[in-house]
Structure 1
Amino acid sequence: MIDLKEIYDKLPLPKNQNSNSYSAKAIKGFENHRIAKNYADNPSLLIFISEQNQDFFIANQNLFSIKVSHNLKCEIESDKKLTHNNFSVVSYIGQNDDVKDIFLSTCQVLIKSLGQNPTNKKIKHTVGKFIELFKAIKETPTKSLQGLWAELFIIEQSNFPENLINGWHSIPEEKFDFSFGKLRLEVKSSATNVRTHHFSSGQLNPIIDTEIIIASILVNVNAGGFSIIELLSRINNKINDFPRQKEKLHLLIYSTLGVNINKINQVKFDYELAKESLKFYKSTEIPKIEINNIPKEVSNVSFVSNLVNSTNIVLNIDELIQSFTKDN
């Protein structure tokens, strides 16, 4: 897997301090494009523009610490040689080192879908994704670090994480974390030794022709555990051939964390405890307030249930999904 951060860190500052001067290196496998560093030590992705594409228009933008310049004539210093070429340039212009690393990992994710000779549509898509991702990290967090870690842990446990990502919620407000045909999967984590979880009435009461499964995990903060970025790296290594799923994975992580993005590598949870404690339960096995006992005038009912006397399903995540979706 290409490590653009490693490549970037080894780039010297360009000798020329012109704003369009870069120290750059071609990206292995995508040699038409460059990962680049300017005199202020800020990273850029230089996107190749074929001659037939040089006339199409993308508006120059400066939003959310991302600067976009189309068809820019760049002075490139590479291997002690100086060249001049036109590129579409996407740059991070902020000063946060954590966000700089996120920019480079975003380049790494999007370069595969961009391809060696991108069409106008692909270039616009890539520029749009950068804006979308960096807009997301300016927003209010929509989930706790623990909740996001637990969902990523479930994805990482699968031998086919691309399937889990396809079923992952597109917006945090959705009732269930994952949807697969007629199966709904909700992930709950507890930072105590007791398997107690918060539920809304809609997460446990039956839905016609739909199976609701709860994944229950015990978690502990542990300096020797895995951070969100480490789980993300493990997942990325399994989905190198699925660029669309990689894009969705990164977008959902960034949009979920919002301004907490700088904590992506700070808080770590005990991976082995999560692995040993992971259990799956049918919603029918979990204590709840039955829908028939909730007055029609009452809404947004939530409660805490203890699963100590509930019977779990003895399956791993892939077996679970297959068993409940094979007839769909």
Structure 2
Amino acid sequence: MNFQSILDTLRSSHQDYPFNALEYEGREGVLVGIDSDRGICVFIRSSGEAASPSIRTAKIMIEFNAPYRLFVDGTRRETGGFHTIRCLSNDPEDTRLFISVSESILSNLSTPLSVYSLTSIFYSLVSLFKIGAASDLRQERQGLWGELFFMKHFDGFAKWAPTWHSDPARLFDFSRDNRRVEIKSTLRSERIHEFSHRQLFSLSSEDIVIVSLLLREDDTGISLKALIDEAKAALRGTHYLVRLERAVIRAAMNDPKETGPQYNEAEALSNIACFKAGCVPQFPTNEPEGVSGTKYRSDLSTAPRMGEEDIREWLAAWMSTVI
């Protein structure tokens, strides 16, 4: 059973115990449970370490080697020390995030579970609970659509997730060593995009590629929600899912009824173009002393594009640097 199935089973069992739990399949020593208030809990059996102080916020709490008495698998009582993280909030969005992040980390079988695993869940959730929606949702959603569309069609979500920005304030959408990728999209017929000067006028050691998308709104096109769902399926079981959740919150796409913008997928794919940053019209100099944050629009219509062979070589070089 997956995380949600375990919770559904526990909530339908009506056992009158402070903590009811089921073993998490494939993870020895890990249990998923609910408390008497239906709050979600994750337990890891500890091996006798000394208890440490708990850490608590208004929404979650983490404890180390704390004594608990559980009713396990509906058949037996178990008393002992557990490392545990508990969701203290009943808000549907908070519990959704708790389930999503917990399942992502617990189901990553390549990573041994430890106190660090629970700590990762805790701090990932703390950061997610602090995020608010962007002020310009139209632009935020269009930008996220472009990034996910690019990942989907250029080697897949799992390939790009390790280098995807963890914060929307980052200068580039994807970064690895000295390589950078910035995704730009527009609803105009002209290939005009707004740039930060720093995205174009690079250090000599940086290799920057601009990916330009021409989009057309289409009621039968692929929606942002559909791309998010595809990305979640591809990233489930990895800690990169947290990056996706962060982007989802910023774009206010955490309402299951919200589909977001829809763009024609075939047209977007046929109208995609890649450019070396040095070939994009720009001011050919550093910002003068005392000036920063310069932004301007550049028309890429006449800029030389990367050819198919250039793109293949670029992708091969980029992917060879990704662990």
Name the TM-score, length of structure 1 as normaliser: 0.77
Change (3 A) 1:61 1:325: closer
Secondary structure of 1:59's counterpart equals: strand
Change (3 A) 1:201 1:210: same
2:44 is matched by which residue type in structure 1?
I
Give me the CA root mean square deviation: 3.6
Question: Match for residue 92 of structure 1?
Answer: 87
Question: Match for residue 75 of structure 1?
Answer: 70
Question: Match for residue 10 of structure 2?
Answer: 11
- In the alignment, the residues of structure 2 paired with residue 226 and residue 289 of structure 1 have an alpha-carbon distance, to the nearest angstrom, of 36
Unpaired stretches in structure 1, ≥5 consecutive residues: none
Name the TM-score, length of structure 2 as normaliser: 0.78
Change (3 A) 1:21 1:226: same
- In the alignment, the residues of structure 2 paired with residue 57 and residue 177 of structure 1 have an alpha-carbon distance, to the nearest angstrom, of 42
- Offset, 1:162: 4.4
Change (3 A) 1:217 1:95: farther
- Offset, 1:239: 5.4
2:241 is matched by which residue type in structure 1?
H
Secondary structure of 2:53's counterpart equals: coil
Secondary structure of 2:181's counterpart equals: strand
Question: Match for residue 137 of structure 1?
Answer: 129
- Alignment of 1:45 with 2:42, yes or no, is yes
- Alignment of 1:103 with 2:111, yes or no, is no
Unpaired stretches in structure 2, ≥5 consecutive residues: none
- Offset, 1:152: 3.2
Contact 1:221 1:270 in 2 (8 A): yes
Change (3 A) 1:4 1:54: same
Question: Match for residue 254 of structure 2?
Answer: 263
Contact 1:48 1:88 in 2 (8 A): yes
- Alignment of 1:299 with 2:297, yes or no, is no
Question: Match for residue 242 of structure 2?
Answer: 251
Question: Matched residues, percent identical?
Answer: 19
- Offset, 1:82: 3.3
Q: Per-residue CA shift, 1:155-206, capped at 9, x if unaligned? A: 3334364442332334444322222343221112224444322101111114
- In the alignment, the residues of structure 2 paired with residue 323 and residue 117 of structure 1 have an alpha-carbon distance, to the nearest angstrom, of 31
- In the alignment, the residues of structure 2 paired with residue 318 and residue 161 of structure 1 have an alpha-carbon distance, to the nearest angstrom, of 17
- Offset, 1:110: 1.1
Change (3 A) 1:117 1:160: closer
Change (3 A) 1:25 1:315: farther
- In the alignment, the residues of structure 1 paired with residue 129 and residue 150 of structure 2 have an alpha-carbon distance, to the nearest angstrom, of 23
Contact 2:218 2:264 in 1 (8 A): no
How many residues are paired up? 311
Question: Match for residue 23 of structure 2?
Answer: 26
